Amino acid sequence: MNRFASLWLVLLLVAISTAWFVGCRDDVTVPYPPELIGKYTGLYTYVEITNGIDTIVDTTQVITFTFWTEEYQMMMDTGISEDDRVFCDVAGEYDIENRVELIQTDSNLTRRVCTFSHNPFGSFGLVIDPDTVRLLQSETSGGVTKVKYLRLAPIPTIQ
């Protein structure tokens, strides 16, 4: 009787192990991070709000934004006069996991007069629609909320 019980126990363990192995291998699907590679045109907006009501900085500029495999570059749109420059032309590296992390390697690529702290860097939320890529960062410290928002549309490439 002891051998019979041992055989059933072994068969039961094999059946449970097989069911677990076969049943769980398709349960977890980790999606690939979205791909941003390409050239975009759009708007970059920087806003500072104190105490949730008073806007002390609110500025927007037309930009071109390029993502390569691991690097990015933001440049002021060439159709804008240099006198109307608001932001620095910047370059850096980026990483996509749950969010987009922009790591600046050059905070003033073209060496123009600009405010470095307004540059897009740090961790951004990412939303990809069929015709728009949106990156948003909102941080509050000492009663001041700083919002950085990129709204980008792909520039079609000519084949």
Domain range summary for the chain, segments of one domain joined by +: 38-154
Tens digit of each residue's pLDDT (9 = 90 or more) over 97-151: 888 999 999 988 888 878 888 899 999 999 988 899 999 999 998 888 999 999 9
How far apart are the C-alpha atoms of 83 and 52, rounded to whole Å? 31
How far apart are the C-alpha atoms of 115 and 106, rounded to whole Å? 13
| Token pair for 116 | 């470095």
How far apart are the C-alpha atoms of 27 and 94, rounded to whole Å? 30
Query: Whole-prediction pTM value?
Result: 0.74
Give the architecture-level CATH label for domain 38-154. Answer: Beta Barrel (2.40)
